[in-house]
Amino acid sequence: MSGNRSNWADTLIHLFALASRLEGEGQYNLAKLTRAAADSLCRRETHPLDIPSDTNKLTAEVQKAIEALSHLNVNADLLSAMKQGAEFMAQGKLSPITATPHPYVCRGCGYATLVPPAKPCPTCGAFAETFQKFMPNYWFDALQPEAAWERLRQTPLVVEKLIAGLSDEAMNQSPSDGGWAIRNTLSHLRDAQGVLDFRVDLFLKEAHPILESKAVFAWAKNESERPPSPRDIFETYRASRAETLRKLESFAPSDWERVGEHEEFGTVTLRQQVSYFAAHESTHLSQIEAQAVHWRSERR
Query: What residue ranges bind Zn ion (CB under 5 A)?
Result: 106, 108-109, 111, 121, 123-124, 126
Residue 112's H or E segment, with its range, is strand 112-113
Q: Which is nearer to Zn ion, 101 or 108 (CB)?
A: 108
Spatial strand order in the sheet of 210-211: 210-211, 259-262, 266-269
Q: Which is nearer to Zn ion, 75 or 240 (CB)?
A: 75
Q: Which is nearer to Zn ion, 96 or 108 (CB)?
A: 108
Per-residue CA distances from 265 to 85, 140, 259 (Å) = 13, 10, 12
Cβ 8 vs Cβ 1: under 8 Å:
yes
Q: Which is nearer to Zn ion, 36 or 109 (CB)?
A: 109
Strands 259-262 and 210-211, by their bridges, are: parallel
CB of 112 to Zn ion, least distance (A): 10
Residue 228's H or E segment, with its range, is none
CB of 78 to Zn ion, least distance (A): 15
What φ, ψ does residue 104 adopt, rounded to 5°? Answer: -125, 135
CB of 148 to Zn ion, least distance (A): 35
Q: Which is nearer to Zn ion, 126 or 259 (CB)?
A: 126
Q: Which is nearer to Zn ion, 105 or 189 (CB)?
A: 105
What φ, ψ does residue 175 adopt, rounded to 5°? Answer: -70, 160
Q: How far apart are CA 288 and CA 181, in angstroms?
A: 8
CB of 104 to Zn ion, least distance (A): 11
CB of 152 to Zn ion, least distance (A): 40
Q: How far apart are CA 247 and CA 62, in angstroms?
A: 41
- CA neighbours closer than 13 Å in the CB half-sphere of residue 114: 14
CB of 105 to Zn ion, least distance (A): 9
